[in-house]
Structure 1
Amino acid sequence: MLNRRSLLSMAPALLPLPINAQARRLGRLVIIGGAEDRLQDRVILRRFVDLCGGPASRIRVLSAASSDPNLAWLGYQSVFAELGVDDCQPIPIPDREAANAVSVVDLILEADGIFLSGGDQRRLMDLIWETEVFRALHVAFHVRGCCMAGTSAGAAVLSRNMLAYGGATKLPEKDAAQLDIGLGLISNAIIDQHFSERGRLGRLLSVLAERPSLLGVGVDEDTALIVERGVGIEIIGRGAVTIVDGRNMLSNYESIDAQERLELLGVGLHVLPSGNSYRLTPRGRNSKRFPASLAQAISLLVEPGPIRG
């Protein structure tokens, strides 16, 4: 856990921010379904830079989930440079020793924005679980208000209950996919990516049968779900975000064996196309009325999770 000594050691990073920086320090999440446009309009990456504070912001790229972290870093370095960002650096974590290095922690705590690349979410968690980097990511988000973005595996790892692996299944089956522990910046949902393109609704329903108290969030490719803590959500890009709500669901999960078909009754489903925003409190022209069931789901998504250490 983060104790007094830990927090005191981070004191320089926890000093009050300038007034002009406080307005943007809201701890937003940019959850990307993978395959985001890096060559043309770059709507999602451009918006991430804006949420970090613009081209003058300090952006750090965590590419440890990739099988070739350096190649992944170089790809994003080029894109962010073309978007005008001068201060963009990698967060190098080749092994767990590096995940406890003061120099790596400092890179995280000085960031205005942190971008988590794709790859294998299990690889990333194996490197950072219960390390100083894991704790620093929570301090950066919860205390410093750093904007955190993740694409593909980097999106999946943002939730506490992380969808670790499992193939697409046309119909929901018991144990069709496996969960593991993720970073935990989203506490009440399981995130899946490449959602429509890879036909993953059956997979998401399968894991929700195991954890019916949670939401399932499926994000399409070149699409991002922007989560603003305590306020609301927005969808940008070219696809949609699917929210599956199993909190009132009845299922036969406990009475069947692995790989048998699931019976799921009373599942809630919301499909939110790009270009829409949903806020829990009226905020200008973009606020809209929507069903109470969706408001309840959004309130779970934007609820600040616990700081973990």
Structure 2
Amino acid sequence: MRTPRTAATLAAGTILLPLMFGTGTAYASGLDGNLVLIGGALNENAQILQRIVADADPDGAGPARARIAVVTAASVPAASPTEASDPTQSNAAANGLYYADLFARYGADTYLVPIDIETNYAGDPYVPGNADSTTVADQVRASTGVFFSGGDQSRYVQTLLDCAPAPGDAFTDCADTAVLAAVRAVLDAGGVVAGSSAGLTIQNGSDMVTAGESYESWRYGAYAGTGIGSNDLTYSPFGGFGFFTEGLLDSHFGTWGRQARMVALADATAHDLVVGVDETTALVYDRATRRGEVIGVNGVSVLDLYGATISGDRAEGVRWHYLVNGDRIDFATLAVTAGAAERSGVGTGSGPNVKRDIWDSPSGSGGTYSMVTQAKALVKSSANVAQGTTFERNPRYRTHLDRVSATRWWTTGGFESLEVSFIPE
């Protein structure tokens, strides 16, 4: 049994720096800058883009403009000058052009950071060596915001961190390159660092997830590495850039049924909090106050493992908060402020039927948002329990969702303190 978190002890702990949650470090106020953590599939969402530009604007309504350094090194390199110059293509250079145009539409200037994991053709401006270029670092430092695009977060580790060699790229010892130090300076000066998909995940501290599906996570456990070509749960012990240290981060969260995989990783690495962001959704995190706000289309999950019982291949009593547009959370106490009127107790109508493929297996037929959909149906119904099973068998895992006395919900789709359990059959 994990020791339960209490509001009183956390409130008292916020005067200290650092405040330890398991082996993950959550820092109290004293840091500056905002993070805009996007769960992937930005889809040119106006609310999220406007927030990034507004947070990067140095003088509000004044004459100065936001200047955003765009980092695309998580993408595959361009194979030719033609591919690099075509913003409809998907490669590091082309993606930079796409985001430059996108941010320009919202009134921001951009600097395209010319860093990639390898050089693919003669004259390629996107080269690994630029990560330690004084000229490139100075351009980043002159920006008021930084945006990390999607792809593979392990490429960000390999391009923007100097890491000691490790088997399977399971890095445990890394240092900032000149460009990453410049990014850190922008944030510490009160700027904004935003990222989508891999650009969100790389902002994690230690034990950053690198790959894995929920079923394999519980069937086989977690191990350090990049997990290339496998559904196994893998992680980087050193982690990412360490901008967000309240808990483990994950993207495409409810969309791809990643709740179970991150509970497994948190337990394996002794972390007690998971923050998962859905697609076309962002968590805006103020580092000075340790408060977060949800914007966008879907939701942000906060999974609290304090007080849960996790033994072997079963987990019981994980607390799940699901926040939607306009909802807020104070990470010092985990107090949730809903953007709509909260309700306690049951709703109306019968509870949902057992959901098949509730973990949204890639080989199953459960679709997307299966566990989120099941939870939303439960809290607004007259039932106190809902269930779902995995597509895979041998063993098949059953998910239990339980309404408890602390459960609250609101009509916009959010809820707090729903209990989640994963039990093999």
* TM tier, smaller: 0.7 to 0.9
Are the aligned partners of 2:111 and 2:140 in contact in 1 as well (CA < 8 Å)?
Answer: no
- How far 1:212 moved relative to its partner? 3.3
How many residue pairs are counted as aligned between the two chains? Answer: 256
The answer to whether residue 16 in structure 2 is matched with residue 45 in structure 1 is no
2:322 to 257, 261, 271: 271
- In structure 1, the residue matched to 2:296 is 237
Change (3 A) 1:278 1:243: closer
1:202 to 253, 260, 273: 260
Are the aligned partners of 1:49 and 1:57 in contact in 2 as well (CA < 8 Å)?
Answer: yes
Alignment of 1:1-309 (within 5 A): 26-38=32-44, 42-53=46-57, 56-67=65-76, 68-85=91-108, 87-94=109-116, 95-129=127-161, 130=175, 131-142=177-188, 144-161=189-206, 162-169=208-215, 172-173=218-219, 174-175=221-222, 176-180=232-236, 181-229=239-287, 230-253=289-312, 262-279=313-330
- How far 1:139 moved relative to its partner? 2.3
Partner Cα separation in structure 2 for residue 89 and residue 232 of structure 1: 29
- How far 1:157 moved relative to its partner? 0.3
Change (3 A) 1:72 1:214: farther
Are the aligned partners of 2:56 and 2:144 in contact in 1 as well (CA < 8 Å)?
Answer: yes
Question: CA offsets per residue over residues 144-196 of structure 1, 9 Å max, x none?
Answer: 12200010000000001311111243884422411112111112311111112
Q: CA RMSD in A?
A: 2.9
Q: 2:36 is matched by which residue type in structure 1?
A: V
Change (3 A) 1:292 1:49: farther
Could you tell me the TM-score, scaled by structure 2's length?
0.55
- How far 1:137 moved relative to its partner? 2.2
Runs of 4+ deviating beyond 4 Å: 279-282, 285-294
Query: Which structure carries more helix by proportion?
Result: 1
- How far 1:292 moved relative to its partner? 10
Change (3 A) 1:292 1:126: farther
- In structure 2, the residue matched to 1:19 is none
Partner Cα separation in structure 1 for residue 406 and residue 286 of structure 2: 19
Q: 1:83 is matched by which residue type in structure 2?
A: Y
Question: CA offsets per residue over residues 9-45 of structure 1, 9 Å max, x none?
Answer: xxxxxxxxxxxxxxxx94000000000121xx52111
Look up the SS of the partner of 2:215 in the other structure: coil
Partner Cα separation in structure 2 for residue 127 and residue 242 of structure 1: 30
Are the aligned partners of 2:56 and 2:145 in contact in 1 as well (CA < 8 Å)?
Answer: yes
When structure 1 is superposed on structure 2, of 133-142 and 115-124 the one drifting more is 133-142
Are the aligned partners of 2:248 and 2:271 in contact in 1 as well (CA < 8 Å)?
Answer: no
Q: 1:89 is matched by which residue type in structure 2?
A: Y
Partner Cα separation in structure 2 for residue 186 and residue 293 of structure 1: 27
Look up the SS of the partner of 1:133 in the other structure: helix
Are the aligned partners of 1:209 and 1:264 in contact in 2 as well (CA < 8 Å)?
Answer: no
Look up the SS of the partner of 1:88 in the other structure: strand
Question: CA offsets per residue over residues 253-285 of structure 1, 9 Å max, x none?
Answer: 4xxxxxxxx211332211111221235799xx9
Could you tell me the TM-score, scaled by structure 1's length?
0.75
Partner Cα separation in structure 2 for residue 82 and residue 155 of structure 1: 22
Query: Which structure carries more strand by proportion?
Result: 2
Q: Tell me, which stretches of 5 or more residues in structure 1 are unaligned?
A: 1-24, 254-261, 295-309
Look up the SS of the partner of 1:114 in the other structure: strand
